Amino acid sequence: VILCVCPSPAIDVTYRVDRLVPGATVRVNRVDSHPGGKGVNVARVLHALGEEVLVVAPSGGEPGEELRRGLVAVGVPARLISDSTTTRRTVTVVDERGDATCLVEPSSTTAWAELVAAVEGSLGGARVVVVSGSLPGGVPPGGVAALVGAARSRGVPVVVDTHGPALLEALEAGADVVTPNVDELAAVVRDDDPTRAARQLAQLHGSVVVVSRGPDGVTVVTPAAAWEARPGAAVTGNPTGAGDALVAGLARGLARDPGVFAHPEHVLRDAVALSVAAVQAETAGSADPKHHAGAMPGVVVTALGGAG
Ligand SMILES: Nc1ncnc2c1ncn2[C@@H]1O[C@H](COP(=O)(O)OP(=O)(O)OP(=O)(O)O)[C@@H](O)[C@H]1O
Ligand SMILES: [Mg+2]
């Protein structure tokens, strides 16, 4: 099982409108809503690939019930922790030109200790733990370290996709793989060269640092070596959730072989192709297998010179 911890799940609501005019009354032509949050997106992509997953997330209030029903509807198993804080919604307003405006409610939790306990209780049989998304308010200092430490003490590799102090805390706690995008990396390392910044983190913490660079693909630095993997071509579409598909691909590779980053050519080709397919998909948390397969041969993986 791949455990997908989603500290800040959401109900993602999409409104289709002709035109979004601030200050005016705008009629909504269509409403869609589905379970979201980065950890949930990762789990949905993995589930669609046929991987066994378990979402672990807090949930509260009526949106929390909607989250539970929505995950059942798509067949993604979940261990939802009852939270006295109501699960947030995000509202994305898409106009006829395809421009998207996203309103994101703040998230907070009163159930962090229970969430950590639930992850600990789910580690038997786990091949990888993924912790994905921003941390809700209410997480005590050391909250991320507790999650990472729990997995590490059982010998389960951990992938963490988050930002800011939580990213640094995950690295210090020994996260095996972190996946900042260039901006998230620049926010935690004072070096404007992403490869150098990633090398610094990889060497200091002994982690694999996967820097995602939008249409330019990824730069991957391990303590021993460095690679670059580029999509064959930039595609147009919805980049929201592309990072989650990338994380899903990396987690699947680790689940099959914990030592995969010694020779990561294949996993990088697979994960980058999956992220390209996610850009082509209309909603976050999905990737068409045809697009995935179609993008594989185009991905160019190059070893970078110099020791990691
Ligand atoms: N326009 C694009 N064309 C082709 N591939 C893309 C494009 N945008 C993103 N990708 C792929 O998706 C990966 C992740 O994208 P990006 O760097 O935007 O992640 P992110 O900023 O973490 O996004 P998010 O976390 O919101 O999903 C990239 O490394 C790349 O492989
Ligand atoms: Mg991201």
pLDDT in tens, 11-56: 999 999 999 999 999 999 999 999 999 999 999 999 999 999 999 9
Q: In what order do the strands lie in the sheet with 53-59?
A: 78-82, 53-59, 2-5, 128-132, 158-161, 177-178, 208-212, 218-221, 226-230, 300-304
For the CA of 180, the nearest atom of ligand 1: 22
Amino acid sitting at position 105: E
Q: What is the residue-averaged pLDDT of the chain?
A: 96
- CA-nearest residue for atom 3, ligand 1, is 234
170 φψ region: left (φ > 0), alpha (ψ -120 to 50), beta (else): alpha
Q: Which of 181, 211, 227, 230 to mutate to test the pocket of ligand 1 (most atoms within 8 A of CB)?
A: 181
Amino acid sitting at position 58: P
- CA-nearest residue for atom 19, ligand 1, is 243
CA-wise closest residue to 295 among 230, 231, 234, 242: 231
Cα of 84 from ligand 1 centre, angstroms: 34
Distance separating alpha carbons of residues 57 and 8, to the nearest angstrom: 7
Does the predicted TM-score (pTM) go above 0.75? yes
Question: Residue 282: its pLDDT value, please?
Answer: 83
pLDDT in tens, 68-96: 999 999 999 999 999 999 999 999 999 99
Is the Cβ atom of 181 under 6 angstroms away from ligand 1?
A: yes
CA-wise closest residue to 182 among 219, 160, 221, 211: 211
Residue owning tokens 């594989």: 296
Is the Cβ atom of 239 under 6 angstroms away from ligand 1?
A: yes
Is the Cβ atom of 226 under 6 angstroms away from ligand 1?
A: no
**CA of 301, nearest ligand number:** 1
pLDDT in tens, 49-63: 999 999 999 999 999
Beta-bridged to residue 34, according to DSSP, are 12
User: At residue 307, does pLDDT exceed 60?
Assistant: no
What 3 state SS string does the chain have? CEEEECCCCEEEEEEECCCCCCCCCCCCCEEEEEEECHHHHHHHHHHHCCCCEEEEEEECHHHHHHHHHHHHHHCCCEEEEECCCCCEEEEEEECCCCCEEEEECCCECCCHHHHHHHHHHCCCCCCEEEEECCCCECCCCCHHHHHHHHHHHCCCCEEEECCCHHHHHHHHCCCCEECCEHHHHHHHCCCCCHHHHHHHHHHHHCCEEEEECHHHCEEEECCCCEEEEECCCCCCCCCCCHHHHHHHHHHHHHHHCCCHHHCCHHHHHHHHHHHHHHHHCCCCCCCCHHHHHHHCCCCEEEEECCCC
What backbone torsions phi and psi does residue 34 show, to the nearest 5 degrees?
A: -155, 160
Distance separating alpha carbons of residues 270 and 268, to the nearest angstrom: 5
pLDDT in tens, 123-181: 999 999 999 999 999 999 999 999 999 999 999 999 999 999 999 999 999 999 999 99
CA dihedral for 26, 30, 35, 40, sign (positive or negative): negative
Q: What angle do CA 77, 127, 229 make, to 5 degrees?
A: 100
What backbone torsions phi and psi does residue 23 show, to the nearest 5 degrees?
A: 85, -5
